[in-house]
Amino acid sequence: MPTPKKLLFYLIAFTALAIVFATIFITAVVYDKIPSFDQLENPKQDLATRIISSDGELLDHFYIKRRTYVPFDSIPKPFLDALIATEDREFYNHWGIHVVRIAKAMVKNILSLHVKEGASTITQQLALNLFMKRELSITRKIREAFTAVKLENTYTKNEILELYANTVYFGRGAYGIQVAAELYFGKSPLELDAAECAYLVAVLKGPESYNAIQNYDKALRRRNLVLTLMHENGFLEAAGYAAAIEKKITLAKRTNSRQFGIAPHFVESVRQMLENDTRFGMQGYNLYRDGLVIYTTLNAQIQKYLNAAVDEHLREFQPLFDKTWTWRDKGQLLSALIRRTAENSPEYIALGEDDAAKKAFVKEFVKKINENPIQMDSLKRRATIIQTGSIAIDPFSGYILGLVGAAPAFMRITPEARYSLNHVTQMRRQPGSSFKPFVYAAALENGLTPQTMIESGPFSYTMPSGQVWSPSGSNKEGGEIPLATALKFSINSVAARLITEHTSPSEVIALARRMGIESPMDPYPTLALGSEEVTPLELTAAYGTFINQGIYIEPTMITRIEDRYGNVLFERKNPNKLTDAIRPNTARQMTEMMQGVVNGGTASSTRKWYRYDAAGKTGTTNNFTDAWFVGFTPQLLAGVWVGFDNQKVKFTGWYGQGGKAAAPIWGRFMGKVYADAKLGYKQTKFGFGEGTPSDSVMKIIMKNSPPEDSIPAEPLTTPQELREN
């Protein structure tokens, strides 16, 4: 049996070895993995990028983790009180760890024979959120404790609370109190009351378990426990406690507009632009992690009016089409739709170059659709949804104020609709007669006037190939009429005579290019009737040239970009691009003629909703495939396309004309905008004097010097000076 001296020696040796091994363990396994002071001072967090409208409304986020950082003074005090009362009552008295609580947790862990989370302080929880993986181990708990102590040496108590409030996960994809307040209550953090703050602290224990939508009673009990702890710890007086306890949990409604935002296709266009265009200074920045703030041109209220105008019209217009459309004699079209659906599916695409497997997949897919009435009806319904691309632009700055990229009915039934086809920017269709203003403008540039008389009867033209072109749409009785009358009633034979006798396809294309049309165009006479495809964006923006006394201003979506610290990465002070397109007098004359289109012409349907000065042009393509109206007031420009994704699905009669299918959206929209005094649009008249720029054009050109890559950098004062340069 060992002597007492040997026992003492063994005890000392064992203790020494234990200390050595503990030191090695802490150094090698724990301490080397503790964040450095530099990492502590600059913790890397994934912050959501925010997209902001011109009138300050949050449009959406780009994020991996939906988190937005807010400073300490923007965090409501009741939230911090609730957090401290519930999670760490001794927060202001400890140095990162609470020894007594740790000791109690260790005893519980040993007795239960497995590791539990224990009673961490707020600082330890912050250390876990910022720097640790959520593994259950003694090693992690030790690293967490060491990191918490270093955090306390690096930050003040308020800074720790600020970091925590911006880091913690509230469930439903929301990181940080800013996003949580918006998501759960539709408010900014400082608008939250004590009961709402208590609920947000309550869900931290288990976002899914305490979800008031799924487990209301459980969530209410947990929230009331938080309120009770606030009261017991002196953070909530008796009267406030009693009122808060009685308050129901009322969460913000989850609607499609909240799911997709009010302008999903606009936001997606911004994302694509930022990822593909180097001019925005985004090199070295991650759109999903770096917490940028993107300020855009879109006006949230104007966007809402455009959404409403589209929805109101199509809710009335869709049933009119549905009553006249039948699939009874359209077997080939239906078969083609089924095959196209199969070929666009992820399963088909994943087959790569295996043609045999693809063929077999399509065959099986067609069989399943034909045998499943529900899926067949769904496919038919999607194919016959009336689509639209509608856009509103400030013509004097090029700012895109509103954009609807797809029909509301489509958005309501389609998951991830934001990423669907944007019918404003990503789709080209024949514009029909809405292209005629370019033909007329080219003729005016060559010396004609709105009063020039031109034959309106049937017209034929022999192509160089020998083919005879005889467009329909003439005055059957014939006779000369003024150009203004021909445009007002959209007489095709007059447009055909203009492009063949008073200008040329090449001249029209050159003029359209100067006015912003970039889509491919072939120099054929049929161009006069809108045979070449364009996007609604470029067609609408080109009409802005008529308001701007012949100056084309390229449209834009982004005005400023800031990093998470408020540093400006990009700021637009000038219009994107200014181009001398047509003479001021031509612009004025075209505006006057297009006023006739609205006042008793093919777009007179707009007068049901908007009765003030306006000008524009309708367009309808063969067999009512596409319907258009692009128009402008003295202050605002908007364009509308209406049709179907599959061009073989068409309107079945007169109601598919541009004046019936598209122009009412424009009229409804302008009526709403001009009825809202807060927006500042006044019911003014067109006030162009010959060769004299309008006040609005003068204002925009005097305010902004043009960009270096378009015209000389000296500030300009008039369109005439632009032309001289």
pLDDT of 565 reads 84
pLDDT score of 695 more than 80? no
Binning pLDDT at 50, 70 and 90, where does residue 399 land?
very high
Six token digits for residue 593: 């003629």
Q: What is the 3-state secondary structure (H, E, C) of 596-635?
A: HHHCCCCCHHHHHCCCCCCEEEEEECHHHCCEEEEEECCC
Q: For residue 126, give its domain range.
A: 69-249
Averaging pLDDT over each range in 115-124, 331-340, 684-693, which range is the top one? Answer: 331-340
Nearest by Cα to 313 from 598, 601, 597, 609: 609
In this structure, is residue 500 part of a structural domain? Answer: no
CATH number, position 222: 1.10.3810.10
The two tokens of residue 676 are 């809202």
| Neighbouring-strand partners of residue 61 | 50
Does the residue 332 lie in any domain?
Answer: no
Q: How far is CA 613 from CA 130, 399, 594, 688, in A?
A: 59, 21, 11, 13
Q: Per residue in 29-73, pLDDT tens?
A: 455 556 555 555 556 667 889 999 999 999 988 876 777 788 999
Mean pLDDT of the chain: 85
The answer to which of 102-116, 202-216, 511-525 has the lowest mean pLDDT is 102-116
- Determine, yes or no, domain membership for 125: yes
Beta strand 637-643 with 578-580 is unpaired
Between residues 7 and 673, the one the model is more confident about: 673
Task: Indicate the SS3 state at residue 637.
Answer: strand
- What is the number of domains present in the chain? 1
Q: Decide: residue 273, CB within 10 A, 0-12 exposed, 13-18 middle, 19+ buried.
A: middle
Q: How far apart are CA 76 and CA 226, in angstroms?
A: 16
pLDDT at 545 over 50: yes
pLDDT band of 513, cuts 50, 70, 90: very high
Angle at 254 between CA 251 and CA 256, to 5 degrees: 160
Residue bearing the bigger pLDDT, 322 or 257: 322
pLDDT at position 116 is: 45
699 lies in some domain: no
* CA–CA separation, 17 and 25 (whole Å): 12
* pLDDT value at 723 more than 70: no
Note whether residue 482 is domain-resident.
no
**271 occurs within a structural domain:** no
Tell me the pLDDT band of 508, cut-offs 50, 70 and 90.
very high
Return d(Cα 414, Cα 378) in angstroms, integer. 11
Residue 595 lies in a domain: no
Q: Per residue in 444-481, pLDDT tens?
A: 999 999 999 999 999 999 988 888 999 988 777 789 99
Q: Can you give the pLDDT at residue 552? A: 97
> For residues 61 and 51, what is the distance between their CA atoms, to the nearest angstrom?
6
**Do 646 and 625 contact (CB within 8 A), yes or no?**
no
Output the pLDDT for position 395. 95
Give buried/exposed letters for 240-251 (b at 16+ CB in 10 A, else e): bbeebbebebeb
Q: What is the DSSP letter of 428?
A: -
Q: Which tens digits make up the pLDDT trace of 220-249?
A: 999 999 999 999 999 999 999 999 999 999
Q: With respect to residue 121, please indicate whether it lies within any of the assigned structural domains.
A: yes
Token look-up 């541009």 returns 658
Q: Confidence class of residue 718 from pLDDT cuts 50, 70 and 90?
A: very low
